[in-house]
């Protein structure tokens, strides 16, 4: 499957519903701190918007994320499930690729006509996706560890 989302799970030790609410509040605070917009938390389900079309530095942890969902679950299998979607980054990267493909002469070699766009895509999308794949779970773990309960695995 094409990587347009980052999905994962952080397992927690036994967590009461009250402790899950504290974790959800801490994740909301962390998202607000990195200037996520539309942050909402209902029944420990957090939704938000990020993206590259915000007034933040390009190293903002949510730069690669269009929107996301984080679920904090308590009970017999306490965990934090998360899904971050990267649609805006994909669209943003496709623009220069289309420009190169459409403005490259038909007489150019296939390497120039198609190799350069592939390289641009792998560099702009692939590297940013790869970096986000490691930074986003670490971002959530840091938010969880900042809780008084401090239980992230």
Domains of the chain by residue range: 5-88+134-145
* For residue 71, pLDDT beyond 80: yes
- Please tell me which of 7-16, 22-31, 101-110, 120-129 the model is most confident about, judged by mean pLDDT: 22-31
Cα-atom radius of gyration of the chain, to the nearest Å?
A: 19
What percentage of the chain carries pLDDT values higher than 70?
Answer: 91
Which pLDDT does position 111 carry in this prediction?
82
Residue range 78-104: mean pLDDT, rounded:
87
Which pLDDT does position 59 carry in this prediction?
74
pLDDT grade, residue 40 (50/70/90)? very high
Lowest mean pLDDT among 45-49, 122-126, 140-144: 122-126
Phi, psi of 19 (to 5 degrees): -70, -35
pTM for this one?
0.84
* For residue 148, pLDDT beyond 60: no
d(CA 101, CA 113): 6
Of residues 77 and 106, the one with the higher pLDDT is 77
* For residue 2, pLDDT beyond 80: no
Would you give the DSSP letter of residue 51? -
d(CA 72, CA 70): 7
pLDDT grade, residue 153 (50/70/90)? very low
Which pLDDT does position 149 carry in this prediction?
47
Would you tell me how many other CB atoms lie within 10 Å of the CB of residue 134?
Answer: 10
Residue range 101-126: mean pLDDT, rounded:
83
d(CA 87, CA 39): 18
Would you tell me how many other CB atoms lie within 10 Å of the CB of residue 85?
Answer: 20
Which option is the CATH number for 5-88+134-145: 3.30.70.20, 3.30.310.80, 3.40.50.2000, 1.10.3720.10? 3.30.310.80
Of residues 65 and 112, the one with the higher pLDDT is 65
* Extended strands (E) in the chain: 5-11, 37-42, 45-49, 67-73, 79-85
Determine the distance from the C-alpha atom of residue 38 to the mean position of all C-alpha atoms in its chain, rounded to a whole number: 15
d(CA 100, CA 96): 6
d(CA 61, CA 109): 38
């Amino acid at each position: 499957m094409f990587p347009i989302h980052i999905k994962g799970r952080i397992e927690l030790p036994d967590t009461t519903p009250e402790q899950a609410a504290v974790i959800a509040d801490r994740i909301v605070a962390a998202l607000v701190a990195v200037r996520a917009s539309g942050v909402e938390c209902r029944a420990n389900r957090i939704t938000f918007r990020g993206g590259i079309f915000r007034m933040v530095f390009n190293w903002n942890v949510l730069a690669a994320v269009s929107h996301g969902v984080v679920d904090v679950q308590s009970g017999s299998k306490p965990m934090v499930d998360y899904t971050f979607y990267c649609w805006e980054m994909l669209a943003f990267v496709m623009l220069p690729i289309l420009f190169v493909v459409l403005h490259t002469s038909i007489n150019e070699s296939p390497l120039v006509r198609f190799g350069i766009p592939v390289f641009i895509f792998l560099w702009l999308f692939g590297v940013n996706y790869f970096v986000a794949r490691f930074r986003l779970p670490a971002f959530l773990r840091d938010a969880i560890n900042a809780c008084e309960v401090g239980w992230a695995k």
